[in-house]
Amino acid sequence: MGKKKLDVMAKEREVFIHGQLDEEGKIIVPGCVRNGIDEASANKMFDEMAEFAKYAFNKSHAACYAVIAYRTAYLKAYYPAEFMAATLNSFLGNLDKIPQYIDECKTLGIEILKPEINKSSTKFTTEYEDLGTAPKSSLGELEEENKDFGAVPKSLKAKIRFGLGSIKNVGTVPVGNIVKERRENGPFKSFTDFCERIADEAVNKKCVESLIKAGAFDEFEQTRSTLLASFEGIIDVIQSGRKKGFDGQVSMFDLGSEQEKEEMQEIKYTFEEHEEMSNKELLSIEKEMLGIYISGHPLEKLREQIEAQTTINSINLRAIDEQMSSSNIENPEMIMTRQSGKLKYKDGQNIKYAGIISSIKKKYTKNNKIMAFVTIEDLYGTAEILVFESAYLKAGKSLVEENIVIVEGRLSIREDETTTIIANEIKEFGEQKQKILTLDITNASEEQKEKLRGALRYFNGDKNNINVQIKIDGETKPCGQIYLTDQIQEIFEEILGEEKVSIDT
């Protein structure tokens, strides 16, 4: 019942009322009728059980949920950084949800730090600014050095550090070796120091390249561009030196003071100097390596504009999928979002979604018509967009990876399938001009004006998506903002007349 499998429930209803016989005609289940209960009463009881199953589960299950809810709420309230770090670690294999929790960290005021070769561990960890000392890389490290603290003092500000093991092409074995070397012999002093100390470990060139792209060596003086152009040559020099060297042999680099040794070590290696990449390029390779944006997001500066011009985001889409797969769904064609608790989505509904294009997969149909599956990422996750030929041709140059676009289309909600958006139009986000709703009240009666004032107040709220201006005798004056849909526009047209209501740019 809880799974809402209607075909199974229909069979079970028959068994519940009339019972069940085996192949030899023996009674397996007597059923209500055989037990002296009339069919109408039996049907009523079954209906009540079906209704009850929508929200009921046993007491032991409810008690477990209550304990878990209380414990996690306590941890989030009193140890928010530690709680969010653990939450992020639990979703390392599911990068679709990571952006949502990163955004939650920002809401809670918790800073997410990019990977750093001298501070990151394998997974997400918390760092603490100890009283008058250097940051600690984990709660365990902090408690070990401050055993008298007990719980972590509230005066310590916690941040979350991205783990090295989450970087693309960097496995757990190389990370384990890097962290072990760092703990046993101290922090890496430079990029060349790192390369020398891990030369005998299972850290290959691909791993080093990925660490550079992720920004793990940004604390050192060279730019990422310089390191990417130089790292292979430096590693080759080190490996060549190891092969040619002899145990116990003293080289010129082993002579002199410590300072002279360090200076001479640098002479051994040649860096091919390059200016740093643009911010857009840095964010792009960061996303490639980490799966998410850490040091910034291309959409952050457009957050308010996107929220004003769209009607759905990836959080809403995930909520639809979760509710479709849950046991509490009554009408699969109408979904209530968890965010608002009020706004409903349904299959075929027209929506607007905006984000940055992360991938485009083109194909041809049996009729030799082009179409594309486009993945577009917003601030919270990704959405799959289905683009048929007409929309594809209209999109033109807008349909390019890393372009910021807005999609007008309709929802496709199907049971056991990921909710997608079927595009009607895709265009670059900066292209569209700001729309404005114009209401002409010239010659309007006092009754019409009163109704109009009431409607403007009623449709003004948190989700305003269009500016409003009032027109009277040829003059226009701004009148705030409202949330506008096709149905709401019809209400204004009923009040003033269709010819008195228009949307202008």
Helix (H) or strand (E) holding 448: helix 446-458
Let me know: does 283 contact 295? Beta carbons within 8 Å: yes
CA dist 502 and 505 (Å) reads 10
How many CA atoms does the CB half-sphere of 195 hold within 13 Å?
A: 27
Taking residues 205-209, report their average pLDDT: 92
Quick: pLDDT tens for 466-490.
778 898 888 888 887 787 877 888 8
Instruction: State the DSSP string of 46-89.
Output: HHHHHHHTTT---HHHHHHHHHHHHHHHHHHHH-HHHHHHHHHH
Can you tell me whether residue 497 is helix, strand or coil? Answer: coil
In this model, does residue 126 exceed pLDDT 50? yes
How would you label 423-437 residue by residue, b for 16+ Cβ within 10 Å and e otherwise?
A: bebbbbbeeeeeebb
Quick: pLDDT tens for 372-425.
999 999 988 889 999 999 999 888 778 888 889 999 999 998 877 889 999 999
Confidence band of 340 (pLDDT split at 50, 70, 90): very low
Let me know: does 374 contact 401? Beta carbons within 8 Å: no
Let me know: does 439 contact 500? Beta carbons within 8 Å: yes
Q: Cβ atoms within 10 A of the Cβ of 10, count?
A: 9
Vertex 103, ends 84 and 138: CA angle to 5°? 30
Round the CA-based radius of gyration of the chain to a whole number and report it.
31
Taking residues 153-157, report their average pLDDT: 65
Spatial CA neighbour of 80 closest among 146, 158, 141: 158
Let me know: does 403 contact 358? Beta carbons within 8 Å: no
In this model, does residue 339 exceed pLDDT 50? no
In this model, does residue 80 exceed pLDDT 80? yes
In this model, does residue 145 exceed pLDDT 50? no
- Distance spanning both ends of the chain, measured CA to CA: 52
pLDDT at residue number 465: 63
pLDDT at residue number 237: 86
pLDDT at residue number 3: 56
CA dist 56 and 284 (Å) reads 47
Confidence band of 436 (pLDDT split at 50, 70, 90): confident
Confidence band of 70 (pLDDT split at 50, 70, 90): very high
Q: How far is CA 319 from the centre of its chain?
A: 13
CA dist 335 and 344 (Å) reads 5
How would you label 79-111 residue by residue, b for 16+ Cβ within 10 Å and e otherwise?
A: bbbbbbbebbeeeeeeeebbbbbbbbbeeeebe
Let me know: does 349 contact 356? Beta carbons within 8 Å: no
- Specify the higher pLDDT residue, 461 or 418: 418
Taking residues 215-234, report their average pLDDT: 91
pLDDT at residue number 217: 94
Confidence band of 464 (pLDDT split at 50, 70, 90): low
pLDDT at residue number 118: 94
In this model, does residue 141 exceed pLDDT 70? no
Percent over 90 (pLDDT), the chain: 31
In this model, does residue 252 exceed pLDDT 70? no
CA dist 41 and 30 (Å) reads 16
Domains of the chain: 6-52 (no CATH), 81-296 (no CATH), 301-428 (2.40.50.140), 436-504 (no CATH)
In this model, does residue 148 exceed pLDDT 60? no
Q: How far is CA 3 from the centre of its chain?
A: 28
CA dist 496 and 504 (Å) reads 17
Percent over 70 (pLDDT), the chain: 81
CA dist 52 and 1 (Å) reads 9
Mean pLDDT of the chain: 81
Taking residues 118-130, report their average pLDDT: 87
Confidence band of 155 (pLDDT split at 50, 70, 90): low
pLDDT at residue number 142: 46
Quick: pLDDT tens for 294-313.
878 888 889 989 998 999 99
What's phi and psi for 403, nearest 5 deg?
-80, 140
How would you label 278-315 residue by residue, b for 16+ Cβ within 10 Å and e otherwise?
A: eeeebbbbbbebbbbbbeebbbeebeeebeebbbbbbb
Instruction: State the DSSP string of 132-195.
Output: TSPEESSHHHHHHH-GGG-SPPTTSPEEEEPPGGGSTT--HHHHHHHHHHHHHH----SHHHHH
